[in-house]
Structure 1
Amino acid sequence: MKDSRDTRRSVACAGRLYCDLVFSGAGRLPAMGQEVFAEGLSLHAGGGAFITAAWLSALDRPAELVATLPAAPFEQTVRAQIADAGIIPSGCATAPYGTDPQITVALPLGGDRAFLTRRAGPALPANVSLDRVGHLHIGELHSLLEHPELIPAARAAGITISLDCGWEDDISPEAAKLIAAVDIFLPNEGEATKLAEAGFADLAPLTVIKCGADGARARIGGVETHVPTNATTVMDATGAGDAFNAGFLDAWLDGKPLDACLAAGNRTGTAAVSALGGTGGISQLEMS
């Protein structure tokens, strides 16, 4: 395995790629039979893999994206945002003909957010190559369940692996062995609680739990490290966990201590919630 202290190792971020339709200023969620009007609407490339790759690129860490592009009419919007973010799209492929557009409706409310998502077609293109990168980050557990071949491919390439969770109503029994096969697992607090109730706690060598306003904590070898974060005004929490992943991984790949990695993740997560969309807060990071 390549030494995790090799600086500026490139990262391949693999996972489902969406076009996020972010409705802002709605005030409340609609109830059945009612209609709620939003003050604003914006379109953003989305999905954990893209958002983490964009933040890594903003941190001057080379990042490649491995994903199937959303179908028309959203593909060109997403392609343009991949290019604007400085992400290398070498692992991207066009959605198969006839595939539904893969989109997420995001509703930021009261410091949190709710999603309605259409997940369609294959998450990743066939024959993913990891020969050019030094680390693999998988944007959500569901994509790994669809493509378990990512694990042996990464190990054959001699690279480390990190995995975010993402919300799943039903947790597949296959998830346990996949989580145990990665180097870093990065659920949020709600996801970690649900996984623990299913008997899937602390399976990875390093588990990092994102706790929102309470910062983040990491568990390794039975020892827990907690690093709080600074209070901030939340405009949109969409993608905050994915931005945290980028900050944490950037520091971890540089061989920094665990508490410094958590602090770096808190910094990018805090910047993320300061603007609409998963990558809107990058400008705040650049000014800090």
Structure 2
Amino acid sequence: MTGVSYDLLVIGDVNPDVVLGPVSGLEFGQREQLVEHGRLVLGGSAAIMACGAARLGLRVAFAGRVGDDAAGAFVRQALAARGVDVGRLVVDPRLPTPLTAIVTTGDGDRAILTSSGCLAATGPRDVPADLLAGARHVHAASFFLMPRLARSLADVFAEARAHGATTSLDTNDDPAARWDRALLDPVLKVTDVLLPNAAEARALSGQEQLTDAVESLTRHGPAVVVKDGADGALARLGGELLRVGAVPVEPVDAVGAGDSFDAGFLAARLRGLDPRACLRLAAACGSLSTRAHGGTAAQPTWDEACAAADPKGNA
């Protein structure tokens, strides 16, 4: 490709996260509960992934939409402070920036409450053609949260590919629990890498066994890389079924770990690492990101991730 300005264009959601916890259970009836930790941090799967990729040394641009409000100013500043180009991030004059509250438990689980704000208005016009033409790779996240963009994402990816870029998708959860394959399948045909977590892979494929889910999704076109929490990751890459373990850490907060995993995998792939090395590097990035509260505070540098992925120095 010629005229490349960015290693990575990330398309999708960005919002403030209010992360509270841990709690053993929510009590209604106007009961006030005290928790040990509370943080206002950058959120959104796409935004956390973009920050992780920039931290790993990639040139990253972000395409999406925020409101003309304090929350929008907060996330724009947070992205820019982490090295992500937000020059083309659209400001919606009418709808507010999305807001998310995350309530964590002591065992790594969490409940996520999101006010979608301008997410539903995010569409293909929010993805500038020159960014698609100037990126080596295009990644989209939170597919089911942005129905207008989802309906056009196949065309967006096809345009990126026409310019020589590769593509990837992390669908994230579907709040409606429909997992609409009629909407998704055209996108998978122009997706190089699909990056679900284990629960999402099972829901998307209808297969309970994770290996069956990977094989089923691979038949629709993309390479499939599945994040499996403390059990590491499973992938069908280069015709081979691969599994790697997680990097042992003392986790503080797992919010955004999957997005940091995505960043690690794509950074390694864009550097030309072999499939197993890409998977190991991704698992390291996901694990290391859990060392602090919020999705971006503990994201590793490239050297830190490589050292954790290959502690014997064999990479």
Q: By the TM > 0.5 criterion, same fold?
A: yes
For residues 74 and 176 of structure 1, the distance between their equivalents in structure 2, rounded to whole angstroms, comes to: 34
One-letter amino acid of the counterpart of residue 123, structure 1: T
Q: Which runs of 5+ in 1 are unaligned?
A: none
Name the CA distance, whole Å, in 2 between partners of 1:116 and 1:183: 31
Q: How does 1:154-165 map to 2 (within 5 A)?
A: 154-165=160-171
| Paired position in structure 2 for 1:171 | 179
Question: 1:128 deviation in Å?
Answer: 2.0
CA separation of 1:261 and 1:175: change in aligned 2, threshold 3 A: same
The answer (yes or no) to whether the contact 1:29–1:36 under 8 Å persists in 2 is no
Indicate whether 1:248 and 2:244 are aligned.
no
1:157 Cα offset (Å): 2.0
- Partner of residue 139 from structure 2, selected from 115, 137, 140: 137
Query: In the TM superposition, what whole-angstrom CA distance separates every residue of 1:209-246 from its partner, at most 9, and x where no partner exists?
Result: 00111111111466311111222222111110110011
Partner of 2:128: 128
Which amino acid in 2 is paired with 1:117?
T
- Cα distance in 2 for residues equivalent to 1:284 and 1:232: 16
Going from structure 1 to structure 2, the CA distance change for 1:233 and 1:138 (only over 3 Å counts) comes to: same
- Find the partner of 1:187 among 172, 190, 196: 196
Contact 1:21 1:106 (C-alpha < 8 Å) held by counterparts: yes
Matched, 1:40 2:37: yes
CA drift of 1:95 comes to: 2.0
CA separation of 1:153 and 1:29: change in aligned 2, threshold 3 A: farther
Moved over 4 A (4+): 283-288
Query: Aligned residues: percent identity?
Result: 28
The residue aligned with 1:272 is 289
Q: Which moved more, 1:214-223 or 1:132-141?
A: 214-223
Letter in 2 for 1:177: P
**What residue is the counterpart of 1:152 in the other structure?**
158
Q: Determine the structure 2 residue equivalent to 1:208.
A: 225
State the 1:166 CA deviation: 0.5
Aligned pairs for 1:77-156 (under 5 A) are 77-97=74-94, 99-109=95-105, 110-121=107-118, 122-124=121-123, 126=126, 128-129=128-129, 130-142=132-144, 143=146, 144-148=149-153, 149-156=155-162
**Normalising to structure 2: TM-score of the pair?**
0.82
Kindly tell me the number of residue pairs found equivalent between the two proteins. 282
User: What is the Cα deviation at residue 280 of structure 1?
Assistant: 1.2
Unaligned runs of 5+ in 2: 208-212, 308-315
Give the counterpart of 1:239 among 239, 256, 266.
256
Higher RCO, Cα 8 Å, sep 6+ = 1
Contact kept, 8 Å, 1:28 with 1:36, in 2: the verdict is no
TM-score calculated relative to the size of structure 1: 0.89
Alignment-mate amino acid for residue 133 of structure 1: A
